[in-house]
Amino acid sequence: MKSLILKIVRIIRKEDIKLGNFSGRDLIRILFWRIICLIRGFFLFNILSLRKGIFFVGSGTNIKGREKIIFNSSTTIGSRVKISAIGSKRFEFGKNFSIRDLTIIDAFGSIKKDSGQLFVGNNVGISENCYFAIRGNLTIGNDVIFGPGVKVFTENHSMEINELPFRLQEEIRSNVVIGNNVWIGAGAFILPGVIIGDNAVIAAGSVVNRSVESGTIVGGVPAKFLKSLK
């Protein structure tokens, strides 16, 4: 059983990976759930969207604006995930993309403005309970991992004291760019206008309000330089 699952995973991901020391019962559970998700993904993508590829989709997932969304092969979407491209220009996800339960990727913010676009590279993994507000553009490179509860924002409100309440003031869109081979720890906040360089690490719980240099670790509130990576 273990060798069969490992062979299937390697065929799908096209990577040489190892499998943990799971019990036979757990392996059966994993295999059964993946088969159910594969069947759901086949009907949702291969038939309804007329696409070719391997797609795993959990229960209760909601995808809106599907005509603007491009999924490449080998995509895994967890349960109760919300992906809405309504109001955006385009969403594109690379190969070996995975997104876990209860995560939201949402473009629609205001009827006054259309939203930007989302581009996600290859081998990107997003954990549970993350939130991505695609008001401006968000670009994510290859081999990026997001810990649970990460939040990424691409919009701010004007904060002038005048006759208009904050909710009616100008919405300021600022693009966010995340480079290749970046690890964003659990509960981190990435604020509008931030550029994160390649090979960077964002410590858990950080609030990143300024750009991050390549090959560095930052952390804190607000996030500050901690050390360089060699």
Determine which one of 157, 210, 224, 227 is catalytic. Answer: 157
Confidence of residue 179 (pLDDT cuts 50, 70, 90): very high
- For residue 42, the SS3 value is helix
DSSP string, 141-185: -SS-EE-TT-EE--EEE----SSS-GGGSPEEE--EEE-SS-EE-
Q: Is the pLDDT of residue 204 over 90?
A: yes
pLDDT digits (tens, 9 = 90+) for 7-48: 666 666 666 666 666 677 777 777 777 778 778 777 776 655
- Go through the domains of the chain in sequence order and give each one's CATH number: 1-53 (no CATH), 58-228 (2.160.10.10)
Q: Is the pLDDT of residue 84 over 80?
A: yes
The average confidence (pLDDT) of the chain is 86
Q: How far is residue 135's CA from residue 192's CA, in Å, rounded to a whole number? A: 10
The residue assigned the tokens 């759901």 is 40
Q: How far is residue 165's CA from residue 48's CA, in Å, rounded to a whole number? A: 44
Q: Is 144 a catalytic residue?
A: no
